[in-house]
Structure 1
Amino acid sequence: MSDVEMSVEKHVFEADVAKLLHLMVHSVYSDKNVFLRELISNAADACEKLRYEAIVAPELLGSNPAPRITLTLDEEKTRLIVEDNGIGMSRDELVESLGTIARSGTRAFMERIEAAQGKEGAQLIGQFGVGFYSAFMVADNVDVVSRRAGSDKAWHWTSDGKGSYTVSSIEPAEAPARGTRITLHLKDDAKTYTSRWTVERIVKDQSGHVPVPISIVEKPGAEPAQVADGTALWTKQKSEISKDDYTDFYRGVSGHYDEPALTVHFRAEGRHEYTALAFVPGSKPFDLFDPDRKGRMKLYVKRVFITDEAELLPRYLRFARGLVDTADLPLNVSREMIQESPLLANIRKGLTNRLLTGIEKLAESDADAFTKLWENFGSVIKEGIYEDFERRSQLLALSRFRTTAEDKPRALSDYLKDMKEGQTAIYYLTGDSLAQLQASPQLEGFRARGIEVLLLTDPVDSFWVTTAPDFEGKPFKSITQGAADLAGIAKDESAAAAANPSMTEFVAFAKTTLGDVVSDVRTSDRLTESAVCLVAPEHGPDLQLQKMLQGAGRVEGRAKPILEINPAHALIAALAAAPAEDEGFLHDAVKLLFDEARVLDGDKPEDPRAFAERLSRLFARALKR
């Protein structure tokens, strides 16, 4: 019997490994693809360890100094082989590194794993070798052959992960010249990992930027094809990266085929160190308003992909694409479901500030590019005015709005410069479309006085205006709510008409006729062309927000509106002068005026049948004359 055959050692796991692996496979990882990331990460670490040891002992590199990771696909034998030419492992290191689960001992280890499932920041990978053992999610048996750099001995570790493993010496010729070869004998439901398309996609998605080149051998004996070159764009100096380089990387990380509207690339140093590369797309993603949509920023640790579900940016910047890479974050057991941590909070704050600053600089340097960015993402950025109190002033200054003054979007700073003497508020009107708002009767008094009004058509507009108390000391005020307060800005030419006794009587009659349908009827200083309009009471939501809340089932009914009457309008003047004994006609007229106001506000008559009957009576009266 040879020395090699005599050196086989069998080790029995002391812990209940079957239960442990069941727990890990079904609880720790939700995505089986993660096993390949783990094995590539370990291989890259082995190459990095060799690089550092070779600084002192360059002979360890031998005649093959370049690091590499090779993935060999063997469809015929249903195997996947992951090989590196890194530092390799001795017999003791094999037992130490891959027998950690056994050495951690007893049921206490599983209890720690179970306890860590619900805890933030659990740091178990690396301590217990769980990363390597993810291979058993897809493999019935795993063979590890390793030879330490500078050694003339090679070792073989094998296990089915169910209760024991063996370690044996093998002929050096059967092992890599240095490094480690891991052979996964795949389960029946994991045969797809012998497909080049599948493996290459996983590598590029999860491990395409590790610091070691990765090649795929499509079948044993075939020539290796490089799928990752071992360089990471974000680690280079910005001066070394061309615009085309950024664009190519953006297209790869985002899945878009346009050019980025904005690129933000920086390295943060100090208490926390990380590198960030973020892009604002040049076009609007189709799922931008999907309520279940999450961000698309990827988190890397030491250039190894961890997750694309970490909240690295607030939701109102969810359109951004890119990544953050840090060496300060430990590799967590549940990498793909990593929780918030102080470091991530710091990254989130720094990345958000840098991205907003980049958008501000674009607004200053390239108005056309910023206008296009705002058209695509302004409605989402405005969510931050509602959600992000800390940056509310910054977001308001950054925002652009359509107004009654110009056809192009305007900044609030421009609005303030053009405010009329005596104007104390920033006036706005919310609605479903720009055409509807521009035709609104509530605008007439403001337009006649040359007062600019913000025309807000995005759904979020009805919400942020309720939480943003002011901009540079000027409060926001809806022109469909409360009194218009325009008398102090320009001469009120309708004052004499409103003071006419017959007009006063008509307003009182209208209020009595409409009863509890309205909260009040009054003359208006906001109307110059239309006869009537509806406004909301001074306190509470404006008309548009009431509609939205009612449509969403948040309120059962709307607050009773106020009917405002234009005393200078010819129709109103004629009705006010009509004989008092013609009460039936006046009653119908007041009801029709109220329905007219509802139609102008985008609604329909409250009682369509009654509306039609009143209109018929009015036509009959006109034909008799």
Structure 2
Amino acid sequence: VPERAPMDLYSRETKRGLSLFVKNVFIGDEVRELMPEYLRFIRGLVDSPDLPLNVSREMVQQHRLITAIRKHLTKKWLGRFAEQLQNKREDYETFWAEFGAAIKEGFHYDIDNKDRLEKTLLFRTTKGEGWRSLDEVLADLPEGQEDLFYLSGDSLETARNAPQLEIFRSKDVEVLLLTDPIDEILVGSAMALREKTLKSVTRGDIDVSKLGAGADAQDGDDSDDSDAASDDEGIKPLLDKLGAVLEARVEKVQVSTRLTDSAACLITPENGITPQMERMFKAMGQEAPPSKRLLELNPGHDLVKKLRALYEADADDARIGTYAELLVDQALLSEGGQLEDPHAFARRVTEVMAAAL
């Protein structure tokens, strides 16, 4: 295994595959059938005493011994990686930083080895700055938590500061921070790790009552829930107004259970396509399926309270539309997204600043 990932590791034209010998006689170089695609960075040779000396490229592709050798080598190397993770953690972290993204491709191409692949995983999470193994993450899960929460992002810094994490951070719930492009495919292929369902903190509804240690405990006082429900009904006319104004940009505007500090965030519908998947489609030259996201508002935030008061005073106030657009823009920027129309954003900010001075 090389110390550094080659520049062309993710290129289709990269040199890959092991050399094949039969009874010390060279048969061929770059025999890709000897090793799965996601372990393409491994270099070496295989000398088999059982293959015929006149084996051809076509025979290599179909020969049962080649298949057996491939299975053996895959199990051997995945086992070696798992052993290194346990016994030489610092060395393995260096290796993972170089080749981890390639290994994660195995969850798509080699689901039969899913259990072995799980033992090689390292994650960045909201708990500390370093790497965390899957065993370590699972060991710290609160009793009764059935989901492994994750957040996808373009960079670690952006992911750590995402507003969608606020409720999880306040309840000390660990969240995996997935910043490799391949992570979207890992999640879609694996669906669960060690029987814990992978659930995005930016997708669909989150049952806050089930988050954190002692989440199932009931204190017998439903007054807070009743007040919250009443407040949600009171803000509904504003949400409907904002939804109509933002119809071209978002699917719906709703009250958030994720936010504790920020005013707004964007959420992907349960069956919608994530921004990361959209970018993957574009990178491959494909058209992404049409999809709009949900805008969630924090009703306890001063900005939202003032916007509600403005709406209740005059539902037709032109400033409501400007503020609605800015809420979407800032929610998009706070998660590291890119504005489709930076000029319009700058114009709206200028208008608000001019009115405030």
Match of 1:512 among 222, 232, 244: 244
SS of residue paired to 1:519: strand
Tell me whether 1:285 sits opposite 2:6 in the alignment: yes
Aligned CA distance change for structure 1 residues 420 and 332 (closer, same or farther; 3 Å):
same
Tell me whether 1:555 sits opposite 2:293 in the alignment: no
Match of 1:416 among 126, 138, 152: 138
Task: State the partner residue of 1:527.
Answer: 259
| CA deviation after TM superposition for structure 1 residue 357, in Å | 1.4
Match of 2:204 among 458, 482, 506: 482
Answer whether contact 1:307 1:338 (CA < 8 A) is retained. Answer: no
Task: State the partner residue of 1:317.
Answer: 39
Aligned CA distance change for structure 1 residues 511 and 495 (closer, same or farther; 3 Å):
farther
Task: State the partner residue of 1:401.
Answer: 123
Structure 1 gaps, min length 5: 1-279
Task: State the partner residue of 2:309.
Answer: 577
Match of 1:542 among 270, 274, 290: 274
Aligned CA distance change for structure 1 residues 300 and 466 (closer, same or farther; 3 Å):
same
Distance 2:285 2:348 in 1: 32
| CA deviation after TM superposition for structure 1 residue 421, in Å | 4.5
Tell me whether 1:308 sits opposite 2:29 in the alignment: yes
| CA deviation after TM superposition for structure 1 residue 337, in Å | 9.0
Answer whether contact 2:278 2:288 (CA < 8 A) is retained. Answer: no
TM-score normalized by the length of structure 2: 0.88
Distance 1:444 1:512 in 2: 27
Aligned CA distance change for structure 1 residues 394 and 622 (closer, same or farther; 3 Å):
same
Answer whether contact 2:246 2:325 (CA < 8 A) is retained. Answer: yes
Q: Which structure ranks higher in relative contact order (CA pairs < 8 Å, sequence separation ≥ 6)?
A: 2
The Cα offsets for residues 183-236 of structure 1, whole Å up to 9 and x where unpaired, read as: xxxxxxxxxxxxxxxxxxxxxxxxxxxxxxxxxxxxxxxxxxxxxxxxxxxxxx
Task: State the partner residue of 1:345.
Answer: 67
Task: State the partner residue of 2:173.
Answer: 451
Answer whether contact 1:432 1:458 (CA < 8 A) is retained. Answer: yes
Answer whether contact 2:159 2:335 (CA < 8 A) is retained. Answer: no
Aligned CA distance change for structure 1 residues 318 and 414 (closer, same or farther; 3 Å):
same
Tell me whether 1:595 sits opposite 2:329 in the alignment: yes
SS of residue paired to 2:291: coil
SS of residue paired to 2:246: helix
Distance 2:309 2:57 in 1: 79
Task: State the partner residue of 1:255.
Answer: none
- Compare CA radii of gyration and give the structure with the larger one: 1
The Cα offsets for residues 134-180 of structure 1, whole Å up to 9 and x where unpaired, read as: xxxxxxxxxxxxxxxxxxxxxxxxxxxxxxxxxxxxxxxxxxxxxxx
Calculate percent identity across the aligned residue pairs. Answer: 40
| CA deviation after TM superposition for structure 1 residue 495, in Å | 7.9
Aligned CA distance change for structure 1 residues 327 and 317 (closer, same or farther; 3 Å):
same
Amino acid corresponding to residue 483 of structure 1 in structure 2: D
Structure 2 gaps, min length 5: 216-221
Task: State the partner residue of 1:69.
Answer: none
The Cα offsets for residues 456-490 of structure 1, whole Å up to 9 and x where unpaired, read as: 11111011101112122210011111112223326
Aligned CA distance change for structure 1 residues 605 and 350 (closer, same or farther; 3 Å):
closer
| CA deviation after TM superposition for structure 1 residue 350, in Å | 0.9
TM-align CA RMSD: 2.4
Task: State the partner residue of 2:159.
Answer: 437
Answer whether contact 2:107 2:117 (CA < 8 A) is retained. Answer: yes
TM-score normalized by the length of structure 1: 0.52
The Cα offsets for residues 221-260 of structure 1, whole Å up to 9 and x where unpaired, read as: xxxxxxxxxxxxxxxxxxxxxxxxxxxxxxxxxxxxxxxx
Give 1:23-172 correspondences, 5 Å limit.
none
Tell me whether 1:381 sits opposite 2:113 in the alignment: no
Aligned CA distance change for structure 1 residues 540 and 506 (closer, same or farther; 3 Å):
closer
Task: State the partner residue of 2:352.
Answer: 618
The Cα offsets for residues 503-542 of structure 1, whole Å up to 9 and x where unpaired, read as: 2222121112112421111111111121111111101433
Amino acid corresponding to residue 379 of structure 1 in structure 2: A
The Cα offsets for residues 555-595 of structure 1, whole Å up to 9 and x where unpaired, read as: 34541101111112111111112222552111211111111
Aligned CA distance change for structure 1 residues 398 and 322 (closer, same or farther; 3 Å):
same
Answer whether contact 1:306 1:336 (CA < 8 A) is retained. Answer: no
